[in-house]
Amino acid sequence: MAEDRAFLFLCDQATESECLTRRLMGTPQAGALWAMSVQPGDHIYLFNFNTRVVRGPYSAVSGADCHEPSAWRGKFPIQVKVAATNLTKMADAHLPGAPRVLSRSRPAHVLGAAAPEVFSWIQQFGQPSEGK
């Protein structure tokens, strides 16, 4: 994986558990353009925009497709299958020193140049993710 190939999927309390249980990240059809560039091996982060908790990195194990049409009652048909790794952690973006990209109410989905900062921060300040 190239260092900047990292993507941020958004969730809230209503969708987070389904993402974790199904090992599936999803976005609405409007997110198809960026999500279709996800490739197996890319780093994937899940960001709850209400609680400000970020989990990751997960490893993408598929490209984007509608893998499970019934997931989220069909609201997020552009989906990427993921797997937890030994690096997968969770951290609260309210913490001092959180990457600036996570301070936005709806952060960018393609992390690009912010990817190394997010990775370093979650490795340093994150806790093991019980929802791996």
* 66 pLDDT above the threshold of 60: yes
Contact 11, 48 (CB under 8 A): yes
Strands 53-60 and 78-83, bridge-based pairing: antiparallel
pLDDT in the model for residue 105: 75
**Which tokens go with 42?**
């890319």
* Coil/strand/helix, residue 23: coil
pLDDT-derived band of residue 131, with 50, 70 and 90 as boundaries? low
Segment 69-73 shows an average pLDDT of: 96
Q: Which two tokens stand for residue 1?
A: 């994986």
Question: Where in the chain are the domains?
Answer: 6-128
Give the CA distances from residue 123 to residues 30, 66, 90, in Å, rounded to whole numbers and listed in that order.
31, 31, 9
Contact, 67 vs 82, CB < 8 A? Answer: no
Give the burial class of 132: count Cβ atoms within 10 A of its Cβ; 0-12 exposed, 13-18 middle, 19 or more buried: middle
Looking at residue 130, its pLDDT comes to 65
Query: What pLDDT, on the 0 to 100 scale, is given for residue 3?
Result: 55
Distance from C-alpha of 48 to C-alpha of 12, rounded to nearest angstrom: 5
pLDDT 10s digits, 10-38: 999 999 999 999 999 999 998 889 999 99
Pick the CATH number of 6-128 from 3.10.129.10, 3.10.590.10, 3.40.50.1100, 3.40.50.2000: 3.10.590.10
pLDDT, average across residues 105-119: 89
Residue 99 sits at the vertex; the CA angle it makes with 90 and 72, to the nearest 5 degrees, is 50
Q: Is the pLDDT assigned to residue 99 strictly greater than 80? A: yes
